[in-house]
Structure 1
Amino acid sequence: MKHPRPLLALLLWAVPLAGSAQQCVAGFPEIYGPLFADAQRALPDPKSMVDAVPSAAPASIAAEYAQRRGEPDFDMRRFIEQRFELPSPAGGEYRTDPRDDVVAHIDRLWTVLERQPQPGDARSSLLPLPQPYVVPGGRYGEIYYWDSYFTMLGLVESGRLDLVRSMVANFAALIDRYGHVPNGNRTYYLSRSQPPFFAPMLRLLAERDGPGVLAKYLPQLEREYAFWMDGADALAPGQAHRRAVRLRDGTVLNRYWDDCDTPRDESHVMDLDTAAAGDRPRAEVYRNLRAGAESGWDFSSRWLADGRSLHSIRTVEIVPPDLNSLLYALEATLADAYRQVGDIARASRMDARAEARAAAIRRLLWDEDRGVFTDLLWADMRSTGAVTLASVYPLYFGIAGPAQAARVAETLRARLLQRHGLASTTIRSGEQWDMPNGWAPLQWLAIRGLSRYGEDALAREVAHRWIRRNLQVFAAERKLVEKYDVTGDAAAGGGEYPLQDGFGWTNGVLRALLVLYPEAAKN
């Protein structure tokens, strides 16, 4: 099924080839002029402006705004509402059947959050997808890359393997079209990806449909790997290019990046304010904000030089354990896919790359003093010292040594375990990926990673605490939400936007955990 690209996509972006740098062209601020920033400041959620569908050519709306905005009785909100179709919250009108328990609620909600393929709308920023997919909910009415893996965990348990297959096919189609999986299927997300969970998605599907899944999607695995490793072979020690870093000792690892150094369109006015709060070159701040968005942890003290001020963000200076664990999983999956097609030579080479990366993670991203895998400031070859749940990725993917896994378990219990689950970090910065918030995907990775290394008691304790909190909120409010305050009874908060209902990955993780730990719902 072939879809035309939206007009805004043609205006904003050049289609990249696999492994090539994304060309950043005109964005929404250039198309709409002063109207864009003014509208973002006037709307409750700035993202609404980039998701809105204009009723006329953007240039004509911008010209009318320039002519009329000085009128004494000019009403900004009314002008926007008359000239744009603003988005509604995904699933916002759904009300839980009071007779449903949480499992029935989740199983029903998949159909509410499911979207069918539609032809590209020339007025919209939405990138069309060829098959059905599930959106997270709330302000997020498009697919998101790493969210979808955790959504798929629940879809499997709900008997919706059809949606798992179609979502995998959609991600493959995005790789074919753009050379990588964008952050989400919006034009303004094309210059970055998100944590690369395509390989774990294929593993999940292969457990049901057989190992032939890996062979079927081998071309897309190769193209995604080329995207993340672009430029790596030509790097001298101590250099970086896009997402690849060659350390002083010659080791090649990866970092988060974005191919643009301008404010994010969906958070344009926020990024302007963030850059203005410090004295760094603004393009440097914007690049790091965008890279932080690619990480999925947007935002966290782990990226901040001073641990508290967003304008000190330094994402591109960091080699993180979560990303490199995922790239180990991609290399290992590629090796297995090559074996499936009988290419033993390439399988052996990819096995060697995977093992070299795993050894580097164990050696270079391990902080012995703190007992965690942590972020590395690659230019200085030193740990940031941040204690975060990114430390569980090497356990989830079987990279950690046994002694390292035992130390991680000790640190989690001592420093991150809270009343309702695991906090993301030890720092209260006001950013949403910090204390006191807990997030479903990180709970899942921690629980399953701990179990993999025989830390079953702690895994069960985390699972029970998290499940109980989810069920408490559901019983009181008849909904599941994006994140939870794991320290007490308040609603989670912080960051750039209000707490969202829905919510795809919370639903998916809870549905899967209730299968593993059914007794938690009875306590």
Structure 2
Amino acid sequence: MTRDISDFNNNFYSAEKLYTSEKFLRALKRLNPNLDSKSIVDRATKKPVDEVLNALDNLDEFIIDDIQKFSDIFLHSPGIEIERANLTDWKEEPEILSKLKSEELKNFFKAVNSIWLDLYKKFDSNTLYPGCVSSHLPMKHSFIVPGGRFIEMYYWDTYWTIEGLLVCDMFKTAREMIENFIHFIDLYGFIPNGSRIYYLNRSQPPYFSQIVFKYFEYTQNSQLLSQDDKLEIKNFVLNEALVYMIKEYEFWMKEKIVEIEIDDHVYRLNIFKANTNRPRPESYFEDINTASGLSSEKEKEILYQHLASGAESGHDFTSRWFRDPMKIHTIETSDIIPVDLNAILYKTELIISKLSYLKGNLDIAKLFKRNSIERRLSINKVLWSEQNKMWTDFNLKTKTSQSEHFYLSNLSPLWFGLRPPNHISELDLINMHIKKPIEEYNGLPYSFVYSNEQWDFPNVWAPYQLSLTEFLHKHDKKLSLQLASKFFNSLFTGWKMNNTFFEKYNALNSGKRGAGGEYEVQSGFGWTNGVALKLIEIFQDKILDY
């Protein structure tokens, strides 16, 4: 039953054809109306893929008995090829524990740390016979998954996952996650949304350079690594990872770039734009339902592209992308220049410049420094709203700022190293927009719009709590601790009540899971765990103060 990666590559296009087949999705859903779209496309085949495709071509998708036979003969249950892996660098008591005094906090830390053992997976091709396929992409190494229905590796989640791995002294696992991403960039030219074949038409917020730089800085400052280890890591970052950081950057600058003219000057900024105009396979029926009120096929294709682009943004979904904040079918993601994406790429340019300088490649260092300066000017010219005293997304169709509602991403340039223009201080923005909500809620919600979308009120997301906490820690330590402690208390309360961690939390009720969106709230949860561990590292026992 052994297979190698070449067997998958030989069947790649057949696998892609199967897992993006609308007939395949419709038939399995007809067999069981309660099936989640993702659980359909996460099924490996029992027979060689060519046999499966032939049977699918001949299948009458309206005869339930025939569909049942097709499913029984040709398909495994979801996730059979994804197995728990052996986490070789995990230890029960990482170094940070010696700095904690509270036994309750130590026990909490140990509980979070132990979850890595359950979330560490491998794609085991040996579970499949030759010629059989899975929608999971072959990986160079094992990987951490978010948890719940998400049994594959996700792009931007990994930044916060690695934050937690580093706190737990798991340098080897963090390195292997980075090498998995290098493998993807080498194969596809970019990092897909996640490690599934149906995610290859889109990416996610491009955090790769920040992931590598975080790993580089953390390990170089570690007291647990030898000088030889640190030198090997430095050589890896400067001589291998940096090449792929530039390659990924070039993908975004080629595939997802727009130009806008203001006052006779052309500014170049980036957008989210998925390479598809079909329903997302993993959310097929949700997308079909969203498009049901549209009359023409062209309108539906535009909608599907905007939905997939919303998924590429990582914020799937939020009223931020909608013309009407209450109606998802008014989504227009790719018509919007997002503040956060361009702030992320600004940080990317700075990192590539700095690492190129360390390598001694001064021409590349100067080029990316110039790129960062140009982007900073573009962000502050196109995306800064003087009236609202914040950065705002820009709508390419209406040529106007999206300033009707506040989203945390409006302040994201702050934690990526941009200063507001016109002599306004960073703390002025904080005090104007979020100081009161920090004091009022159990963590800061991403928005204050009640839309029933998961990235809107009252949901609180761990990544934003950490990004904002780390920024505030440099400018207002008291407010930073208040934000961190209130969110941490929600994690802690939820853990004591449910013995688990959630993908998102409720700003109004400490410890309560969030709600809304296309699927049930998932437990696990990779980036939440990483943020919890990082907050403990930053504040230690003070995290319990509020």
Using the alignment, how far apart are the partners of 2:454 and 2:187 within structure 1?
A: 32
- Quick one: structure 1 residues 300 and 81, their matched pair in 2 at CA, closer, same or farther if it must change by over 3 Å? farther
Q: CA deviation at 1:214?
A: 3.6
Is residue 273 from structure 1 mapped to residue 292 from structure 2 by the alignment?
no
Contact 2:121 2:143 in 1 (8 A): yes
2:395 matched to 1:356?
no
| Maintained 8 Å contact 2:419/2:426 | yes
Which residue is 2:543 aligned to? 520
Between 1:288-297 and 1:390-399, the stretch displaced more is: 390-399
For 1:124, which of 130, 134, 138 is the aligned residue? 134
The residue aligned with 2:63 is 70
SS at match of 2:519: coil
Aligned residues: percent identity? Answer: 29
Q: Does structure 2 conserve the Cα–Cα contact (< 8 Å) formed by 1:395 and 1:450?
A: no
Distance 1:429 1:8, change over 3 A: farther
TM alignment of 1:426-505, pairs within 5 A: 426-452=448-474, 454-489=475-510, 490-505=512-527
- SS of aligned partner of 1:431: coil
Query: What secondary structure sits across from 1:267 in the alignment?
Result: helix
**Residue in structure 1 matched with residue 77 of structure 2 by the alignment:** 86
Equivalent in the alignment of 2:111:
105
Which secondary structure state, in structure 1, belongs to the residue aligned with residue 266 of structure 2? Answer: coil
Deviates more, 1:44-53 or 1:396-405: 396-405
Q: Is residue 251 of structure 2 the alignment partner of residue 245 of structure 1?
A: no
Instruction: For 1:32, give the aligned amino acid.
Output: F
Question: For the residues of structure 2 that align with 1:51 and 1:8, how far apart are their CA atoms?
Answer: 16
Q: CA deviation at 1:442?
A: 1.0
Q: Provide the C-alpha distance between the structure 1 equivalents of 2:25 and 2:456, rounded to a whole number of angstroms.
A: 35
Choose from 529, 533, 537 the match for 1:507. 529
Residue number in structure 2 paired with 1:22? none
- Partner residue in 2 for 1:32: 24
| 4+ aligned runs moved over 6 Å, structure 1 | 75-79, 89-92
What corresponds to 1:20 in structure 2?
A: none
- Secondary structure of 1:403's partner? coil
Shift, 1:26, TM fit: 7.5
Name the count of aligned residue pairs: 491
**1: CA distance, partners of 2:488 / 2:350:** 32
- Match runs of 1:42-441 below 5 Å: 42-56=33-47, 57-62=51-56, 65-66=59-60, 69-70=62-63, 74=65, 80=71, 83-87=74-78, 101-116=107-122, 118-119=124-125, 122-210=132-220, 211-212=234-235, 213-230=237-254, 242-248=255-261, 249-278=265-294, 281-385=299-403, 386-401=405-420, 403-410=424-431, 411-414=433-436, 418-441=440-463
8 Å CA contact 1:257, 1:287 repeated in 2? yes
Q: Residues 227-257 of structure 1: CA distance to partner in whole angstroms, max 9, x if unpaired?
A: 1011xxxxxxxxxxx4101111311110001
- Distance (whole Å) between structure 1 residues aligned to residue 435 and residue 73 of structure 2: 54
* Superposed CA RMSD: 2.8
SS at match of 1:287: helix
Q: Equivalents in 1 of 2:118, 2:311: separation in Å?
A: 27
Q: Alignment partner of 2:258: what SS? A: strand
Judge which range, 401-410 or 428-437, deviates more: 401-410
Tell me how far 1:209 sits from its aligned partner: 3.9
* Greater alpha carbon shift after TM alignment, 26-35 vs 243-252: 26-35
CA distance in 2, matches of 1:76, 1:493: 34
How far does residue 284 in structure 1 lie from its aligned partner after superposition?
0.5
Matched to 2:418, the amino acid is: I
**Structure 1 counterpart of 2:97:** none
CA contact (8 A) 2:203 2:312 kept: yes
Closer/same/farther in 2, CA of residues 279 and 308 from structure 1, 3 Å limit: farther
Q: CA deviation at 1:379?
A: 4.1
Check 1:215–1:33 CA distance in 2 against 1; reply closer, same or farther (3 A cut): closer
Aligned AA for 1:10? Y
Matched residue type, 1:3:
I
Structure 2 alignment gaps of length 5 or more: 85-91, 93-103, 221-233
Q: Which amino acid aligns with 1:448?
A: E
TM-score (norm. length: structure 2): 0.83
Unpaired runs of at least 5, structure 1: 14-24, 231-241
One-letter amino acid of the structure 1 residue matched with residue 110 of structure 2: A
Native 8 Å contact 1:420 1:466 kept in 2: yes
Shift of 1:151: 0.4
Question: How much does 1:278 deviate?
Answer: 4.0
Question: 1:309, 1:31 → 2: CA distance?
Answer: 28
| 2:210 alignment partner AA | P
CA apart distance, 1:149: 0.4
Give the secondary structure class of the aligned counterpart of 1:42: coil
Query: Can you list the C-alpha shifts for 1:118-163, whole angstroms capped at 9, x where unaligned?
Result: 4486420100111121011000010000000000111111111111
Q: Distance in 1 between matches of 2:519 and 2:398?
A: 34
Kindly state the Cα deviation for residue 359 of structure 1 after the two structures are TM-superposed.
2.3
Are the structure 2 counterparts of residues 447 and 262 from structure 1 closer, same or farther at C-alpha, using a change threshold of 3 Å? same
User: Could you tell me the TM-score, scaled by structure 1's length?
Assistant: 0.87
Deviates more, 1:128-137 or 1:500-509: 128-137
Deviations 1:81-104 (A, max 9, x none): 664222269999xxxx9x982211
Report which stretch shifted further, 384-393 or 265-274. 384-393
After superposition, the C-alpha distances for 1:368-417 in whole angstroms (9 at most, x for unaligned) are 33333221113443211131111232111111237252233120124576
Could you report, residue by residue, the CA deviation over 1:242-298 in whole angstroms, capped at 9, with x for unpaired residues? 410111131111000101111001111111111113457001000000000000000
Q: Is the alpha carbon distance of 1:220 and 1:2 closer, same or farther for their aligned partners in structure 2, counting shifts above 3 Å?
A: farther
